[in-house]
Chains A and B, each alone.
Chain A
Amino acid sequence: KAGVTQTPRYLIKTRGQQVTLSCSPISGHRSVSWYQQTPGQGLQFLFEYFSETQRNKGNFPGRFSGRQFSNSRSEMNVSTLELGDSALYLCASSLGFEKDTQYFGPGTRLTVL
C-alpha cells in the first residue's frame, strides 16, 4: 500500500497571506489528523477528520481550519499567516477506530517571512 502523502513539501509565504496544505491518506483509512511540529514544542494536535466531519479539535486559533473530502483526502488552511506559524505540518491517517495506529506523512515545511 502507498503511504501517506503530503503536498507541497515546502512552502514559503509572507505574513498576512493564506496557505492550503493537502494530505492523501493510506487507501482505506477514513481518519486524518493534523499536527504542528516546532522545535521544543513537539507535536501539537490541530484537528482530526473522520468521514468528512471534524471529530476532534486542538487549541489553535480559528485561522487554522480544515476539511475532508469523500475520498478521505484532507486539506488544511491557515489564513492571515504569522511568523509563529512557521513549522512542519504533519498529517497522519488511520482507520479511525479506538486504539488504531496513526501513520504519518512526510510533512509540509512552512516558512513564513
Chain B
Amino acid sequence: GENVEQHPSTLSVQEGDSAVIKCTYSDSASNYFPWYKQELGKRPQLIIDIRSNVGEKKDQRIAVTLNKTAKHFSLHITETQPEDSAVYFCAASGNNRLAFGKGNQVVVIP
C-alpha cells in the first residue's frame, strides 16, 4: 500500500518567517494530495490540496507544490503567524484511500 513520510517531525520558526514541510510518497498511482492542519484538541481541517495534473497551488499565505517524477510534495507557509502553530499532516490518495504521514509539529515563535 501507499507509504507517506513527512520531514521534519518538528519545525520551529520565528514569526514572519517561512515554513516548509516536505512529504514523500511511494505509490506512483496516487493522484490526490491534501494537507490537514490539526490544532490541539481539535479535528484535522483541510487547508489546501493538489491534484496530480497541477504542479503548484496557492491560497493566500499557503502553497503546495507537487513533483510527480520525484514523488514528493511540499507545503509552504509564508509570513507565519502564531495561529499557524499546529500539527500538519500530508496525505496521498489513490483508489479512494488516504494514507497519512505522521505529522509535523510547527511552532511559531512570537
Which of B49, B98, B99 has the most A CB atoms < 10 Å from its CB? B98
Question: Does B109 lie at the interface of the complex (its beta carbon under 8 Å from any beta carbon of A)?
Answer: no
Stretch in B40-48, B57-65, B67-75, B76-84 touching the partner = B40-48
Contact of A48 among B36, B43, B96, B101 (CB under 8 A): B96
Contact with A along B1-25 (1 / 0, CB 8 A): 1000000000000000000000000
B97–A56 contact, CB under 8 A?
Answer: yes
Task: Determine if B102 and A55 form an interchain contact, defined as CB atoms under 8 angstroms apart.
Answer: no
Known: A41-B102, A104-B43. A48 touches B97 (CB 8 A): yes
Report, as a range, how many residues of chain B touch the other chain: 20 to 34
A56 CB to nearest B CB, Å: 5
A42 touches B103 (CB 8 A): yes
A30 to chain B minimum Cβ distance, whole angstroms, is 11
**A105 near B89 (CB under 8 angstroms)?**
no
Rounded to whole angstroms, the CA-CA distance of A102 and B31 in the bound complex is: 15
- Cross-chain contact of B43 among A42, A45, A96, A105 (Cβ < 8 A): A105
Pairwise interchain contact B43-A106, C-beta atoms closer than 8 A = yes
B89 contact from A42, A106, A107, Cβ within 8 A: A42
A99's closest neighbor in chain B, by CB? Answer: B32
- Residue of B1, B45, B96 near A96 (CB, 8 A) is B96
Query: Is A101 an interface residue, CB under 8 A from the partner?
Result: yes
Contact A102 B89 (CB under 8 A): no
A-B CB proximity, top 5 nearest: A42-B102, A99-B32, A43-B100, A104-B43, A56-B97
Chain A residues in the interface with B (C-beta under 8 A): 31, 33, 35, 40-45, 48, 50, 55-56, 59, 90, 92, 96-107
17 pairs, A vs B, C-beta closer than 8 Å: A33-B97, A42-B103, A43-B44, A43-B89, A43-B103, A45-B97, A56-B95, A56-B97, A59-B1, A90-B44, A97-B96, A98-B93, A99-B51, A99-B93, A100-B96, A102-B46, A105-B43
